């Protein structure tokens, strides 16, 4: 890939993924129940080797994978991404025992992972976590903890097989006192409930009533869990942008086809300057978002020092752009796009949540500004 275009092999791979999503994955998605984990779909993602790519690829490949699947089947894209989000902390910070137990099953689509960071009072302000990890000297493996509190808006909850849980162990104030744990779903004291949300993928709450965890459940070192969370989000934020770009491209292509054929006012809708200019704006914004996502992914793969800023910019622009493009696509289609089951009706419901999860747009702007001012001060 150059700074402006994908290579031929990458373009061919993306085209194959888009076709695969429509032919093989969308039928499985359509058989699923909204708000529930679709295990047959996950198994297909595993059989096709796509879940393996999440863990074996760099950030750019992850973005191309998510963008291409989102174009053809948003449910497949989301199922794949949630596996990566929940299990990446295990890959990055887990022990050999944890990785050997869980990652092969995640890659095969046989174990469902979840990333449990948000709480009722700690959504955008992730460092304000209140889930308490109280020392339990007689606990699991000796020197363990008991988890007490709540998690909320957790994707794949309460149906996941294990959770990457971030709790306050108190080694220091704020983010310095947060640890990460791998908590199997069958651990005593752990319960959950589904939430009825706008997004069609499963989201729920979790209740921790003295859930026992021990040193063998830690992901990384005590008090270093916030870094595990941020490392995960820095990788996945640009790919959230890629998910958004995939939706925007699908909406744009549908709009091009519709307005070129739809008869109105003695010609087609595309003959109207107001329509043609709006489509041009949709296309330009989508292309700008796509390039920014690729640039952020490339920076991550190079190990650049400005990844947090680039990742935040990519997620911000791409998710806001996708909202704009899908909304205008619905407007240009008219009432037909509001019918249940129409592609744009589906995308309209899907496109709203990414502007909130994994850091709302306002949080991304805060990160960008902090990084910019920090760099400016350092240069003085």
CA distance 228 to 294: 23
CA distance 223 to 301: 27
Q: Which residues are catalytic?
A: 358
| CA dihedral for 368, 374, 379, 380, sign (positive or negative) | positive
Query: Could you tell me which of 340, 231, 246, 338 has the C-alpha nearest to residue 290?
Result: 246
CA distance 147 to 189: 9
Contact between 202 and 182 (Cβ < 8 Å)? no
Contact between 238 and 314 (Cβ < 8 Å)? yes
Q: Could you give the C-alpha distances from 35 to 128, 201, 338, in angstroms and in order?
A: 28, 5, 21
Enumerate the β-bridge partners of residue 218: 181
Query: Could you tell me which of 207, 176, 177 has the C-alpha nearest to residue 194?
Result: 207
CA distance 180 to 170: 12
**List of residues 6+ apart from 266 with CB closer than 8 A:** none
Q: Pairing between strand 162-168 and 113-116?
A: parallel
For 377, the 3-state DSSP assignment is helix
> What is the full DSSP assignment across 233-262?
HHHHHHHHHHHHHHHHHHHHHHHHHHHHH-
The four Cα atoms 166, 320, 64, 51 give a dihedral, to 10 degrees, of: 30
Q: What are phi and psi of 362, to 5 degrees?
A: -65, -35
Token pair belonging to 112: 């469902």
CA distance 322 to 300: 23
């Amino acid at each position: 890939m150059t700074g402006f275009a994908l290579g031929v092999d990458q373009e061919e791979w993306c085209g194959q993924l888009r076709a695969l999503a429509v032919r093989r994955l969308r039928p499985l998605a359509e058989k699923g129940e909204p708000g529930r984990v679709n295990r047959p779909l996950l198994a297909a993602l595993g059989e096709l080797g796509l879940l393996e790519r999440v863990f074996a690829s760099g950030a750019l490949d992850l973005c191309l994978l998510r963008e291409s699947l989102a174009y053809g089947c948003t449910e497949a894209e989301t199922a794949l991404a949630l596996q990566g989000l929940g299990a990446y902390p295990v890959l990055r910070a887990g022990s050999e025992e944890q990785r050997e137990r869980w990652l092969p099953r995640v890659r095969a689509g046989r174990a469902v992972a979840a990333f449990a960071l948000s709480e009722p009072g700690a959504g955008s302000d992730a460092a304000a976590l209140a889930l308490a990890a109280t020392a339990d000297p007689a606990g699991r493996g000796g020197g363990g903890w008991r988890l007490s509190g709540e998690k909320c808006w957790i994707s794949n909850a309460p149906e996941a097989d294990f959770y990457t849980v971030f709790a306050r162990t108190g080694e220091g104030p704020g983010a310095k006192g947060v640890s990460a744990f791998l908590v199997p779903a069958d651990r005593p004291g752990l319960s959950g409930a589904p939430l009825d949300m706008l997004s069609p993928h499963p989201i729920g709450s979790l209740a921790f009533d003295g859930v026992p965890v021990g040193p063998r459940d830690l992901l990384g070192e005590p008090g270093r869990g916030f870094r595990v969370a941020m490392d995960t989000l820095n990788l996945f934020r640009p790919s959230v942008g890629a998910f958004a770009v995939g939706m925007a491209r699908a909406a744009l292509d549908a709009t091009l086809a519709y307005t070129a054929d739809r008869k109105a006012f003695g010609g087609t809708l595309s003959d109207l300057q107001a329509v043609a200019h709006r489509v041009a704006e949709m296309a330009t914004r989508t292309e700008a978002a796509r390039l920014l996502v690729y640039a952020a992914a490339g920076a991550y793969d190079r190990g650049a020092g400005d990844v947090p800023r680039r990742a935040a910019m990519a997620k911000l622009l791409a998710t806001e752009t996708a909202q704009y493009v899908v909304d205008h696509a619905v407007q240009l289609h008219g009432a037909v796009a509001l019918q249940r089951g129409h592609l744009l009706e589906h995308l309209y419901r899907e496109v709203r949540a990414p502007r909130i999860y994994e850091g709302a747009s306002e949080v991304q702007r805060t990160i960008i500004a902090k990084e910019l001012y920090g760099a400016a001060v350092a240069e003085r």
